[in-house]
Amino acid sequence: MIKTRGIKFDYNNQVFFEFPDIEIKTKENLLIIGNSGIGKTTLLHLLAGLLESKSGSIELFGKEISNLNSYQLDTFRGENIGIVFQRSHFVNSLTVKENLELAQFIANKKDNNRIDTILKSLGILDKSDKKTNQLSQGEKQRASIALAIVNSPKLILADEPTSSLDDENCDRVIKLLKKQASEFNAQLIVITHDNRLKKHFKKSIKL
């Protein structure tokens, strides 16, 4: 169960956001859609515990995350949440595969077969030995998705995961995200302005 109530946030008392309440049950996925500048990325960072809301509550899997200290929150995030950031977060001196191996090492979940399976599903297995700064924007985005799902999180948060992809790869990526969520009893929340994704979700809200 994922549930938020009365979430508000502001940047230096100048830019204010007030978000609709969210409630999704186990195995449900959610599409959050809205235009640029409306706070989509801010909401994703709040759900991930990367930002702290000014008011309201965020409950993930029975935990009220505002009650966790920094160490507890980092541990909870590492064990339960995978994030596809809008801008890629890689160690550029490492290859794609080495970045995924590093993520597994940090989480103590080494599994090279899973890395190859994910990269193949995303159509970038042939890029596994490339440095991440040698990838195209679309390839970086798919590698970011691989990084988010490599440790089988309970919640996958995706910020504009298809924005740089053509229609074919858009469908491939969103289907892979949904498949990963289903296989590991994870929940998927996608935050986007991409109206192509509406057909893939039964539940959606508009910001």
pLDDT of residue 128: 95
Cα-Cα end-to-end distance for the chain: 21
Buried-exposed string 155-181: b where 16+ CB fall within 10 A, e elsewhere:
bbbbbbbbeebeeebbbbbbebbbebb
Kindly state which CATH superfamily the domain 2-89+135-206 is placed in: P-loop containing nucleotide triphosphate hydrolases (3.40.50.300)
pLDDT in tens, the chain (207 residues): 899 999 999 988 888 899 999 999 888 999 999 988 889 999 999 999 999 988 999 999 999 998 999 989 988 988 899 999 877 889 999 999 999 999 998 888 888 888 998 899 888 999 999 999 999 887 888 898 899 989 888 999 999 988 778 898 889 889 988 987 887 778 999 999 999 999 999 999 999
pLDDT of residue 44: 94
Beta strand 187-192 with 81-84 is: unpaired
Task: Kindly report the number of other CB atoms within 10 A of residue 9's CB atom.
Answer: 20
- Write the CB contacts of 188 (distance below 8 Å, at least 6 apart in sequence): 29, 30, 155, 156, 158, 177, 178, 180, 181
Integer Cα distance of 80 and 135 in angstroms:
28
Do 196 and 165 form a contact (C-beta atoms < 8 A)? no
